[in-house]
A and B are shown apart, each in its own frame.
Chain A
Amino acid sequence: MSILALIAQQGELKSSALEAVSVANQIAQKADMQLIAVYIGPPLADQLKRLEGFGIEKIVVFESEAVTYYQNDICVPILQKLVTEFDIKVIIGSATSIGKEVCASIAAKLDAELIQDCIEVDWDDGLQAKKPIFAGKIISDISFTNMPAIISVRPNILPVIRNREGAPEIIKREMPHVPHAKSIKNIVREAKSGVELTEAKVIVAGGRGIGGPENWPVLQELCDVMGAALGASRSAVDAGWIHHTHQIGQTGKVVSPDLYIACGISGAIQHQAGMRNSKVVVAINKDPGAEIFSSCDYGIVGDLFEVVPLLTKEMRKLLS
């Protein structure tokens, strides 16, 4: 009996992958199962070394430049075979956009239950997981009663823990040839630079209070000083001030940074659905009655155009 950890693709080992592997290691120890990992994607080369210390016995590697992003017609059959080969009972992946698609596909193929976006995972005679539902208003504590059991882990919530000796055995395999029967062909178009919201330790977010797209530099400067990612409320996105990729909330991204600085954001429930898991929330808003003040750690009542530049200045002093 084994556990399979899915290592996120894209030719770079992301911290979300290491978090998933850490969870898999914990479960493998508690359940006394061996831990197998699989990687399907462009060559990882030296980065494979970063997978030491997690108690992985074998990493099965399918390397090809041709599969930069997920393709279900290639990945699902590979995973299905591994499940049989290693008698896999538990599969653990990352709840990234692609990670969730992989987990859903393989779950269907195995007729297995799946819980996406888990914020806590445990083993007690079976796999257990906690997951936010109703836009994070409720946390559901769920047990699997059947195996195989599949989960994806929400990025940036659970720690990366290396607690075992020894290097994994690396098994390189040929990428299977897939006839062009299936139809999703991936073409990479662009890779954006900058800090990614879902991996960011600090997020500075702006809402309608920033007044217009010309004012983003006020927040961007603070981002640059703090190494933060820029987020936005839906109102700012819907006004056309910034691209939807920056939106945080129920219909945007779910983030969990160490520090979330909300500037000119009222704190609507749908916005909170995306940032509720931040460790520390700072709110800057000129309305003392704004909802955000009833769910933040530190609040400053004031005009963001006065507060943010001062904060940028102080942070620059502190960090230089």
Chain B
Amino acid sequence: MKIVVLIKSVPDTASIFKVAEDNKFVVIGNPKFIMSPYDEYALEEAIKVKESVSGEVVVVSFGDENALEVMRTALAVGADSAILVENSDADSFTGKGVSKVLAAVIKTLSPNIIFAGKQAVDDDGCQVPERVAEILGISHASAVTRFELQGLTAEADREVEGGYCTMEITFPALCTVEKGINTPRYPTLPNIMKAKRKEIRKMTLEELNLSADDVRPGLTVNSISLPRQERLLKKLEGEIGAQVKQLTSILREEKIGL
């Protein structure tokens, strides 16, 4: 079983975000790069599948040099090999371009399963994996909460409005994973040491034969802003009973939620 995991390195959402003077760029105080949280679940699921049937797990990422550390972590957690398409301008690509880059790499690997996060927590794009699957012409299932290998097929659950649905998946297929599917393991010290000896294969866009037209964004960012924070910040006062009465009368008068 050959399994590919798509991994994105993102700034930790606990970082400080600011809007630059030209209203265009996100400035991050103390940037610390982490594996996008849903990708941790994707990697864990891949390793679990590998452990149950034997096989190999290849992690693939498109990013700048900050992605190296995250790839190293993935190797320490249990991936067998890693490919980084390195580009200092990766941030300026939209989901349309990123998916073409990743699909071009995956095409050379012919995996049986691809796991990815259901969304990356930097751009919250929610589209790269599904696009990759469509480009490769394989099936996909989004936001999977349970994945069970059953011989040559797998059974998977996803949440839908008002319930679940269960799917039967034959391979090759791509699944994006939702939190709750598993509990990601931590790398152990011996594995961290071992990972240092594993090679991270670097590729460039040129090697993938993608033209500038293929990956040119069809979007422009006009500006970015901080969300409107117009909270009243009113702490109610008095004894508890009086506070509750005050709250209910506010809700009634302002017709909030009634």
Contact = CB atoms under 8 A, between A and B. Distances in A.
A binds B: yes
A136 B123 CA distance: 10
Interface string A287-320: 0100001111111111000110011001100110
B30 interface: no
Contacts of A141: 221-225
A298 B257 contact: no
B109 interface: no
Interface stretch (B71-79, B161-169, B196-204): B161-169
A143 B94 CA distance: 13
Given A113-B96, A116-B125, A192-B163, A184 B141 contact: yes
A184 B141 CA distance: 8
Interface in B166-218: 166-171, 173, 178-180, 217-218
A101 interface: yes
A107 B221 contact: no
Secondary structure at the A interface, as helix, strand, loop or mixed, is mixed
A288 B233 CA distance: 12
Interface stretch (A21-29, A42-50, A245-253): A245-253
What size tier do the contact residues of chain A reach? 35 or more
A48 B243 CA distance: 46
Q: Which of A237, A259, A279, A298 has the most CB of B within 10 A?
A: A298
Contacts of A252: 179
Contacts of A138: 17, 19, 26, 224-227
Contacts of A295: 229, 231, 233
Contact of A202 (B38, B96, B130, B257): B257
A187 B248 CA distance: 44
A114 B231 contact: no
B2 interface: no
Contact of B219 (A76, A144, A189, A298): A144
A200 B57 CA distance: 41
Contact of B227 (A116, A132, A149, A311): A132
B161 A14 contact: yes
B173 A314 contact: no
A199 B161 CA distance: 10
B94 A100 contact: no
Contacts of A258: 256-257
A184 B240 contact: no
B227 A310 contact: no
B122 A302 contact: no
B258 interface: yes
Given A98-B160, A101-B142, A111 B220 contact: no
A282 B236 CA distance: 10
Contacts of B123: 133
B168 A251 contact: no
B219 A145 contact: yes
Q: Which of A257, A269, A279, A299 has the most CB of B within 10 A?
A: A299
Interface stretch (B48-56, B59-67, B82-90, B132-140): B132-140
Contacts of B7: none
A104 B94 CA distance: 13
A152 to B, nearest CB: 8
Contact of B218 (A145, A182, A202, A259): A145
Given A141-B225, A183-B170, A196-B161, A280 B240 contact: no
Interface of A: 8, 10, 14, 16, 68-69, 72-73, 76, 95-98, 100-101, 103-105, 107-109, 111-117, 128, 131-146, 149, 182-192, 196, 198-199, 201-202, 226, 228, 237, 243-245, 247, 250-252, 257-259, 269-270, 273, 276, 279-282, 288, 293-302, 306-307, 310-311, 314-315, 318-319
Given A251-B37, A311-B247, 13 more contacts: A72-B134, A104-B142, A113-B94, A132-B227, A136-B227, A184-B169, A186-B166, A196-B162, A245-B159, A299-B233, A300-B235, A300-B243, A319-B258
Interface of B: 11, 13-14, 17, 19, 26, 37-38, 94-96, 99, 121-127, 129-131, 133-135, 139-143, 145, 153, 157-171, 173, 178-180, 217-227, 229, 231-236, 240-241, 243-245, 247-248, 250-252, 254, 256-258
24 contacts: A10-B160, A14-B161, A97-B159, A97-B161, A105-B133, A107-B131, A113-B217, A114-B127, A131-B124, A138-B19, A149-B218, A183-B153, A189-B163, A190-B163, A192-B162, A192-B163, A244-B179, A250-B13, A250-B121, A279-B256, A307-B243, A307-B244, A310-B240, A310-B241
